């Protein structure tokens, strides 16, 4: 009797059984909650608020006055900031009290194009045909890591008219009384295009996994007249920065093509890394012990690398150790 | 549908280590592992199917409460499976008569699948004699294919302690198996 002898008794469940359970689950399918689960986690709440905020409003500085729209915003690099845990709790609390954070900027959002559900594909060629992307995958994989599956998501597009009164409500709820909302923002029509994306899942023996997402940069256009650092300053205040810090930071960076990634200070750390010839961002969960949904207290572990290269944005995340994640990222041509 | 949903979904998948779970993919990946966890834990294919089904139904009902990254999902699913097994044993303690433990198959007369099934039946009976903790650890390792480190993360037992437990348990299992006159191993 050896290890292999013990392993050899494993069997695949019968297809009939697999189908039976699948049907049972399908029969129990309930409508999706109107509140996405991401809003139930303080960190995710803050991340999403800030991400929506900045994705919607990070755009090139005013240059072409004669243009109806500014140059399209495209992500060229990622910048992380630490988000204040207390502020995240505050945001979570007002969200739990029924404040509709998803309507932060506008109640009149028009979905121009639905991205649809993720679709499983069986080859790179199929994914490229569906998305129009030239897909890049790691030329080599770390030991025992194998590619599992590939999924594609369709293009999405929407537009909305900014409503500063809503933003003011959020600021009031957070007791941020010294933040001024720029009035030129009110009534601005924001157009967002989300290009198709490709998700590739990897797995190492056991439960360690990694997910590579690649897509062309999202594009956001917005009428002239709004001074971008003012908007960034508001976002930084929402994330817990003091007035002086927020102002200094907002005016120290050229936000043209820069996506701000808030990282909850109590659960993760970040640093800049080199990914091939690009500059990337490595975010690591710090293993803080948290009670999961089954009631057990466990460390939250995992890493994520974000970078942009050749007009595309990449995210590689998972529980495969950070060294191997970086190796995979750097092996993408 | 909330009109922000497409933006949020895209952003979350881009800017967070989580992504919207592809339930079908998760199901296909985890079903064999959970099923084999129960086969090794319980020793009965039909019961293993029932308990696997219960595990996935529980997970499905609670899926909105869970962070949706794949690794965390696996850990969460195994936590549910372990509790389902505990509930099962609370309701019904499976015991095998001692004399059956030494009832070795007659491999000279058997081949292939039949021999394998008899061997697994016999192994299950030996496993049933182990303390619950040891049997669960063996089910996680040999049934579900988890590494010692993953099992440590799941059970709270230290990785070095798990190695020691496996060493002692396998030595005991081998002795029991050999006492029964196995032709294997």
pLDDT, tens only, A186-228: 887 878 788 898 999 888 876 678 889 899 888 777 666 667 7
Burial class (CB in 10 A: 0-12, 13-18, 19+), B54: middle
> Read out DSSP for A161-200?
E--HHHHHHHHHHTT-TTPPPPGGGTT-EEEEEE--EEEE
A286 in Cβ contact with A269 (< 8 Å): yes
Read off the pLDDT of residues A13-24 as tens digits, 9 standing for 90 and up. Answer: 888 898 888 888
Q: What is the pLDDT of residue A328?
A: 94
B136 in Cβ contact with B41 (< 8 Å): yes
pLDDT at B86 over 90: no
Residues 6+ apart with CB under 8 A from B57: A21, A24, A25, A28
- Tell me the average pLDDT across B53-81: 75
- Tell me the average pLDDT across A103-115: 72
Contact B7 A298 (CB under 8 A): no
Phi and psi at A83, nearest 5°, equal: -100, 140
Measured CA to CA, the distance from residue A151 to residue B85 in angstroms comes to 34
- Tell me the average pLDDT across A251-280: 83
Residue A1 Cα, gap to closest chain B Cα (Å): 4
Q: What is the pLDDT of residue B97?
A: 37
pLDDT band at A102 (very low <50, low <70, confident <90, very high): low
Distances (CA, A) of A282 to A34, A274, A317, B64: 32, 9, 9, 28
Tokens 């998700």 locate to A199
Residues 6+ apart with CB under 8 A from A2: B185
pLDDT at A230 over 90: no
Q: What is the pLDDT of residue A225?
A: 67
Helix (H) or strand (E) holding A189: strand A189-194
Q: What is the dihedral of CA A320, A258, A94, A243, to 10 degrees?
A: 120
The closest CB to that of A111, out of B3, B12, B22, belongs to: B3
Contact A8 B71 (CB under 8 A): no
Average pLDDT score over chain B: 73
Measuring CA to CA, which residue among A152, A119, A118, A148 is closest to residue A135? Answer: A152
In this prediction, what percent of chain B has a pLDDT beyond 70?
66
Q: Which two tokens stand for residue A120?
A: 């499983």
Q: Which two tokens stand for residue B159?
A: 């990785």
Between A105 and A26, name the one with better pLDDT.
Answer: A26
Three-class DSSP category at A292: coil
The closest CB to that of A158, out of B3, B19, B153, belongs to: B3
On the CB side of A273, CA atoms within 13 Å amount to 21
Q: Which of residues 51-70 of B touch A (CB under 8 A)?
A: 52-53, 56-57, 60-62, 64-70
In this prediction, what percent of chain A has a pLDDT beyond 90?
12
Q: Tell me how long chain B is.
A: 185
Across A99-103, B31-35, B119-123, the highest mean pLDDT is recorded for B31-35
Q: Output the pTM of the full model.
A: 0.54
Least confident window among A117-121, A196-200, A211-215, B143-147: A117-121
Which region holds residue A73: left if phi is over 0, alpha if psi is between -120 and 50, else beta?
Answer: beta
pLDDT band at B71 (very low <50, low <70, confident <90, very high): low
Query: What single-letter DSSP state applies at residue A185?
Result: G
Q: What is the pLDDT of residue A100?
A: 55
B52: closest chain A residue by CA:
A21
Picking from B8, B12, B15 by the largest number of A CB atoms within 10 A of its own CB, the best residue to mutate is: B15
B19 in Cβ contact with B13 (< 8 Å): yes
Residues of chain A with C-beta less than 8 angstroms from the C-beta of B60? 25, 28
How far is Cα of residue B181 from the mean position of the Cα atoms in its chain? 28
Measured CA to CA, the distance from residue B178 to residue A115 in angstroms comes to 60
Measured CA to CA, the distance from residue A296 to residue B82 in angstroms comes to 12
- Tell me the average pLDDT across A254-272: 80
Q: What is the pLDDT of residue A333?
A: 87
B66 in Cβ contact with B73 (< 8 Å): yes
pLDDT band at A30 (very low <50, low <70, confident <90, very high): very low
Between A210 and A101, name the one with better pLDDT.
Answer: A210
pLDDT at A318 over 90: no
- Tell me the average pLDDT across B151-157: 87
Q: What is the pLDDT of residue A289?
A: 60
Q: DSSP 3-state helix, strand, coil percentages of chain B (rounded to 5)?
A: 75, 0, 25
pLDDT band at B5 (very low <50, low <70, confident <90, very high): very low
> Count of A–B CB contacts within 8 Å?
214
Measured CA to CA, the distance from residue B174 to residue B8 in angstroms comes to 55
Measured CA to CA, the distance from residue B137 to residue B132 in angstroms comes to 9
- Tell me the average pLDDT across B30-50: 91
Residues of chain B with C-beta less than 8 angstroms from the C-beta of A118? 20, 22
Measuring CA to CA, which residue among B111, B97, B99, B95 is closest to residue B180? Answer: B99
Q: Which of residues 139-168 of B touch A (CB under 8 A)?
A: 142-143, 145-147, 149-150, 153, 156
A191: closest chain B residue by CA:
B7
- Tell me the average pLDDT across A116-136: 90
The closest CB to that of A9, out of B65, B75, B120, belongs to: B120
Q: What is the pLDDT of residue A68?
A: 31
Measured CA to CA, the distance from residue B159 to residue B149 in angstroms comes to 6
Measured CA to CA, the distance from residue A138 to residue B53 in angstroms comes to 37
Measured CA to CA, the distance from residue A179 to residue A251 in angstroms comes to 16
Measured CA to CA, the distance from residue B13 to residue A53 in angstroms comes to 16
Read off the pLDDT of residues A39-90 as tens digits, 9 standing for 90 and up. Answer: 233 333 334 433 433 333 322 222 222 223 343 566 778 888 888 888 877 8
Nearest-10 crossing angle of helices A15-27, B23-42? 120
Between strands A77-83 and A258-264, the pairing is parallel
Tokens 């970040």 locate to A270
Q: Which two tokens stand for residue A257?
A: 């093509």
Q: What is the pLDDT of residue A155?
A: 87
Across A33-37, A158-162, B28-32, the highest mean pLDDT is recorded for B28-32
Which region holds residue A91: left if phi is over 0, alpha if psi is between -120 and 50, else beta?
Answer: alpha
Average pLDDT score over chain A: 75
Measured CA to CA, the distance from residue A146 to residue A60 in angstroms comes to 40
Residues of chain A with C-beta less than 8 angstroms from the C-beta of B139? none
């Amino acid at each position: 009797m050896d290890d292999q002898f013990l392993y050899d008794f494993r069997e695949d469940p019968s297809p009939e059984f697999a189908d039976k359970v699948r049907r049972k689950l399908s029969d129990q399918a309930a409508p999706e909650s109107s509140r996405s689960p991401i809003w139930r986690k303080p960190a995710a709440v803050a991340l999403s608020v800030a991400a929506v905020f900045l994705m919607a409003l990070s755009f090139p500085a005013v240059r072409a006055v004669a243009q109806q729209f500014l140059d399209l915003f495209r992500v060229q690099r990622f910048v992380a900031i630490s988000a204040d845990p207390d502020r995240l709790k505050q945001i979570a609390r007002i969200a739990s009290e029924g404040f509709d954070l998803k309507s932060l900027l506008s109640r009149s959002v028009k979905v121009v194009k639905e991205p649809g559900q993720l679709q499983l594909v069986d080859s790179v060629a199929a994914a490229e045909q569906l998305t129009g992307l030239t897909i890049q995958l790691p030329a080599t994989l770390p030991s025992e890591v194998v590619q599992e599956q590939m999924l594609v998501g369709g293009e999405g597009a929407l537009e909305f008219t900014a409503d500063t009164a809503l933003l003011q409500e959020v600021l009031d709820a957070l007791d941020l009384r010294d933040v001024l909302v720029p009035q030129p923002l009110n009534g601005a029509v924001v157009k967002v295009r989300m290009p198709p994306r490709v998700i590739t899942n990897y797995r190492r023996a056991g439960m360690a996994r990694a997910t590579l997402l690649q897509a062309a940069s999202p594009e956001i256009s917005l009428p002239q007249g709004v001074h971008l650092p003012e908007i960034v300053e508001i976002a930084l205040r929402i994330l817990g920065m003091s007035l002086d810090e927020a102002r200094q930071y907002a005016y120290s960076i050229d936000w043209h093509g820069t996506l701000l990634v808030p990282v909850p200070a109590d659960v993760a750390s970040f640093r800049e890394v080199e990914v091939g010839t690009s500059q990337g961002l490595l975010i690591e969960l710090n293993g803080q012990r948290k009670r999961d949904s089954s009631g057990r207290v466990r460390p939250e572990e995992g890493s994520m690398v974000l970078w942009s290269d050749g007009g595309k944005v990449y995210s590689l995340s998972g529980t495969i150790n950070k060294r191997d994640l970086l190796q995979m990222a750097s092996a993408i041509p | 549908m909330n009109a922000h949903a497409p933006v949020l979904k895209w952003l979350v998948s881009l800017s967070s280590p989580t992504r919207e779970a592809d339930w079908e993919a998760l199901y296909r990946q985890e079903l064999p592992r959970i099923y084999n966890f129960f086969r090794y834990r319980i020793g009965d294919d039909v019961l293993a199917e029932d308990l696997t089904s219960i595990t996935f139904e529980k997970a499905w009902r609670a899926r909105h409460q869970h962070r949706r990254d794949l690794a965390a999902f696996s850990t969460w699913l195994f936590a549910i499976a372990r509790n389902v097994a505990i509930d099962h044993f609370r309701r019904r303690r499976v015991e095998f008569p001692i004399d059956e433990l030494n009832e070795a198959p007659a491999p000279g007369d058997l081949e292939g699948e039949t021999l394998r099934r008899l061997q697994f039946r016999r192994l299950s009976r030996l496993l049933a004699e182990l303390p619950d903790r040891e049997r669960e650890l063996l089910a996680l390792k040999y049934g579900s294919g988890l590494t010692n480190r993953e099992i440590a993360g799941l059970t709270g037992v230290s990785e070095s302690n798990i190695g020691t437990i496996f060493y002692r348990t396998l030595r005991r299992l081998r002795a029991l198996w050999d006492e029964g006159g196995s032709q294997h191993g």
